[in-house]
Amino acid sequence: QAKKGGRNTLLFYDPAMQAALEQRAALENDLRRALLEDQFVLYYQMQINRDGRIIGAEVLMRWQHPLRGLVSPLDFIPLAEETGLILPIGNWVIETACAQLKQWEADADKSVLQLAVNVSARQFHQADFVQQVDQAICRHRIAPNRLKLELTESLVLDDIEDTIVKMHRLKEIGISFSLDDFGTGYSSLYYLTKLPIDQLKIDQSFVRNIGLTQSDAVIVQTIIGMAINLNIESIAEGVETEAQQAFLETHGCHVYQGFLYSRPIPRTEFERLFERMRQKPPTLPRAKLLN
């Protein structure tokens, strides 16, 4: 069965496509409701320094869907970007992270923790992004250097003029920046020196292959060396084995994140883990801390 739809277009009835469209519409509908009904939660994945101390966490979003259970950001961020829902959702993440930082300020040890928040392209490039971040920081009265924004190379290059202006304005406020999934994009050395970047985050695809693929080990080593020469920090994401950690340590990587230390976990669990590590500081070589 075919029917005429608009000029020169024939719409064919395709049950599979129809089902996919309906599923997408349902998901979009659910996503709209999720914000109103408070179904999003933040998970925290610790980041540790060379001494094995927790210096902060990456904030990773989860959607507690009433029927589907815990939904991965990989399954809803793209739709949120397409529909523009990422604007209120992304703002909620920043707000919640700032509120968390404020709460930790009351505790001497936790007050030094940094939170790294992922920012999507559409969110960053919206007109009032700088203002939103500034307002969140002022409203919660937190030290701006506790907030780190994770930007991907593609976001940065999407609209390089806008990026340069906004990053410098945010930097003036005191925000720091990590370049996420580094090595997978096309950023040139030229831009790296033009942007106020504090940290290069080595993509987990390279970290995973450290002991397996010689070229990936070379890439990891090169990124760490580049960070050292640019006088910025390097962080490895997706560290899963002691062998990967040892390689990273040998080459001078500054900060570590991955399942070897902890998976992303809810706030209360993260706080408990932090307390446990505070009482018993890790000894070198670092043992597996939690999984």
**Interface residues toward Mg ion, by CB under 5 A:** 118, 150, 180-181, 237
Residue 93 interacting entry, from ligand C2E, Mg ion, none, C-beta within 5 to 8 Å by type: ligand C2E
Q: How far is the CB of 283 from Mg ion (least distance, A)?
A: 29
Residue 60 interacting entry, from Mg ion, ligand C2E, none, C-beta within 5 to 8 Å by type: ligand C2E
Q: How far is the CB of 262 from ligand C2E (least distance, A)?
A: 9
Binding site for ligand C2E (CB under 6 A): 45, 60-61, 72-74, 77, 90, 93, 118-120, 150, 180-181, 204, 237-240, 258-259, 264
Residue 238 interacting entry, from ligand C2E, Mg ion, none, C-beta within 5 to 8 Å by type: ligand C2E
Residue placing its CB nearer to ligand C2E in the complex, 5 or 266: 266
Residue placing its CB nearer to ligand C2E in the complex, 22 or 263: 263
Comparing CA positions, the residue from 142, 31, 3, 139 lying closest to residue 90 is 31
Residue 74 interacting entry, from ligand C2E, Mg ion, none, C-beta within 5 to 8 Å by type: ligand C2E
Q: How far is the CB of 86 from ligand C2E (least distance, A)?
A: 6
Q: Which residue has the tokens 């009482």?
A: 279
Q: How far is the CB of 170 from Mg ion (least distance, A)?
A: 17
Q: How far is the CB of 44 from ligand C2E (least distance, A)?
A: 11
Q: What tokens were used for 120?
A: 């999507």
What is the rounded CA–CA span in Å between residue 35 and residue 53?
Answer: 34
- Are the C-beta atoms of 258 and 203 separated by less than 8 Å? no
What is the rounded CA–CA span in Å between residue 66 and residue 74?
Answer: 18
Q: How far is the CB of 148 from Mg ion (least distance, A)?
A: 10
Contacts of 238 (CB under 8 A, 6+ apart): 203, 204, 205, 207, 208, 257, 258, 259
Residue 264 interacting entry, from Mg ion, ligand C2E, none, C-beta within 5 to 8 Å by type: ligand C2E
Residue placing its CB nearer to ligand C2E in the complex, 48 or 60: 60
Comparing CA positions, the residue from 159, 151, 157, 158 lying closest to residue 188 is 157
Q: Which amino acid is at 85?
A: L
Residue number of the CB atom closest to ligand C2E: 258
Residue placing its CB nearer to ligand C2E in the complex, 184 or 222: 184
Q: Is 280 helix (H, G, I), strand (E, B) or coil?
A: coil
* Strand duo 199-202 + 233-236: pairing: parallel
Helix, strand, coil in percent for the chain, rounding step 5:
50, 20, 30
